[in-house]
Amino acid sequence: MALAEAGARGRLLRWPRVLLFGDSITEYSFQENGWGAYLAERLVRKCDVVNRGISGYNTRWAKLILPRLITESTSPDSIVAVTIFFGANDSALKELNPKQHVPLEEYAANLKSMVQYLKSVDITADRIILITPPPLEESAWEKACLAKGEKLNRCNATTGQYAQACVQVARECGTDVLDLWTLMQKNQDFSSYLSDGLHLSTKGNSFLAAQLWSRLDNKLSALPSLLPYWRDVDHTNPEASLL
């Protein structure tokens, strides 16, 4: 059978998408042992996991980009989950990092705006997961700052305020939320979860992947695996199995 004829007979294969939208902690998530790579591996026969992490960005900039990633013409059925993971840059101290800093109330408003936009293009609340920034290990991050000739430009208490705001937005908007800031500090020294005080270590990536998978698995467990297992293909008549 000619390839063109096979294509005409068969349905177009479209993998649903899980969109990871965030800052550098998302951008780096496809590195070795990264949390995004973990999700992609677990979902390879069900979904495409799309990394739209943009290092250094905050919610002020992110809300301008989101409508260019998911438009009104995007089929809502093609997006099965979206993670929104910002705050590590928004919570930078204004006097020391004014370019990335976003005031707390604006941060919350920006998150709410992004959720409302997704809802307006028929991405329902049950498919949206907000993720708070992780805790900041100040001594390690200060070393990273000093190495670049800068002063410590973030503090964990401030990051916690942004995390709480993220949780509140999720509550108000009816979305799921992963409170990474609280979970990582629960009854333990969280420094091992971070590579430089801000970004995730291998252990931190594994922790986030497990927490996120417990939520995504519930949402995506009903999705079928695309294309049959190879042992189930009728080798005498593959068209019957594959088209």
> Which are the catalytic amino acids?
24, 196, 199
SS (H, E, C) 60-97: HHHHHHHHHHCCCCCCHHHEEEEEEECCCCCCCCCCCC
Q: Which amino acid is at 92?
A: A
* Rounded Cα gap, residues 34 and 46, in angstroms: 19
* Rounded Cα gap, residues 224 and 216, in angstroms: 14
* Rounded Cα gap, residues 195 and 96, in angstroms: 22
Burial 136-145 (b: 16+ CB within 10 A, else e): bbbeebbeeb
- Please report which residue ranges of the chain form alpha helices under DSSP H: 3-9, 24-27, 35-42, 59-69, 104-120, 138-147, 156-173, 180-184, 202-220, 238-242
* Rounded Cα gap, residues 151 and 148, in angstroms: 9
* Rounded Cα gap, residues 83 and 51, in angstroms: 10
